[in-house]
Structures are given as C-alpha cells and as structure tokens.
C-alpha cells in the first residue's frame, strides 16, 4: 500500500505542470482565478503518471473525496477532504478521514502516518509564483479551488 501512496504523492507533485498544460482548467475574472478539476481529468492524469494507479479511481462528491481500487490481492478505500492551509505555506492539503485495507478499517495512527509520509497536497505557487489558494470545495464530479494573487 505504501508503494501506491508513494506513486500518488509523486503524481500529485506533477499536477501543477498538468494545469499549466491545460489552461482551460483555469478561469480568471478580475484578480481572482478559479481552478476546476474534474474527477475524470484527475483519474486520467494519475493513471498516466504510474502503472500502480491504473486500477484506482478518485471520485469527488459534495465535501468528500473518495479513492477506491485494488492491486493484486490488495483492496483499498480512502475518504477525505481538502482544506486551505497557510502554514508553513499556502496549500490545499488532504485530510484522510477513513482508510479501509482489505475490508479492515485501519486506525487513526496508520492514516496519520500515511498523510505525514506522503504529501498529497497541491501548492498553487507551483503553477504561478504569486497564486494563493483562497478556498477549496468538493462538488459532484469536481474540485473547485478559488485562487487569488498574493504573496
């Protein structure tokens, strides 16, 4: 399971490059910009990054991200949310609420270890130096991040 989380973290680190290559994901109005990423787009991106992620699917639902998949005899289900964090730097950080491995709900300590060891966050400054996340919302089928210009 750690190999899969490592592959997911490495892929998420490349997401800013994908966003730069897909300017249609960004809509600007005045000084604010909105990033809208569908779960279909994210799944295609992740599967292109690693063979380990080809049998995993992310779904965005109101206020919830779910990830499900299997690899060989391993079956994993994760739910969580994203929040805007400003310390130590501005980011959209993932918070894992549940982790189910082969039908067994794993303890908080295991979830916390995975979140600490594998950064699944998104850093707007990697897209453009002066972008800051202002808010994040999970909706049916999409992740919507409101961005603003700032230091």
Task: Report d(CA 113, CA 8) in Å as an integer.
Answer: 15
Task: Report d(CA 36, CA 41) in Å as an integer.
Answer: 10
Q: What is the pLDDT of residue 149?
A: 83
DSSP H or E stretch at residue 109: helix 108-117
Q: What is the pLDDT of residue 151?
A: 63
The pLDDT tens digits along the chain (151 residues) read 889 999 999 999 999 999 999 999 999 888 889 999 999 999 999 999 999 999 999 999 999 999 999 999 999 999 999 999 999 899 999 999 999 999 999 999 999 999 999 999 999 999 888 889 999 999 999 999 999 987 6
- Give the domain ranges of the chain: 2-149
Task: Report d(CA 141, CA 138) in Å as an integer.
Answer: 8
Q: From edge to edge, which strands make up the β-sheet containing 56-61? A: 56-61, 64-71, 74-85, 91-101, 104-105
């Amino acid at each position: 399971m750690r190999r899969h989380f490592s592959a997911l973290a490495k892929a998420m680190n490349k997401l800013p490059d994908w966003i730069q290559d897909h300017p249609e994901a960004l809509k600007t109005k005045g000084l604010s910009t909105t990033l809208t990423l569908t779960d279909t787009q994210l799944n295609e991106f992740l599967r292109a990054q690693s063979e380990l992620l080809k049998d995993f699917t992310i779904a965005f639902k109101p206020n919830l991200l779910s990830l499900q998949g299997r690899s060989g005899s391993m079956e994993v289900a994760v739910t969580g949310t994203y929040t805007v964090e400003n310390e130590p730097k501005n980011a959209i950080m993932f918070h894992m609420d549940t982790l189910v491995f082969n039908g067994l709900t794993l303890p908080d300590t295991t979830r916390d270890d995975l979140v600490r060891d594998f950064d699944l966050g998104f850093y707007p400054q990697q897209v453009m130096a002066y972008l800051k996340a202002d808010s994040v919302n999970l909706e049916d089928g999409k992740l919507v991040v409101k961005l603003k210009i700032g230091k």
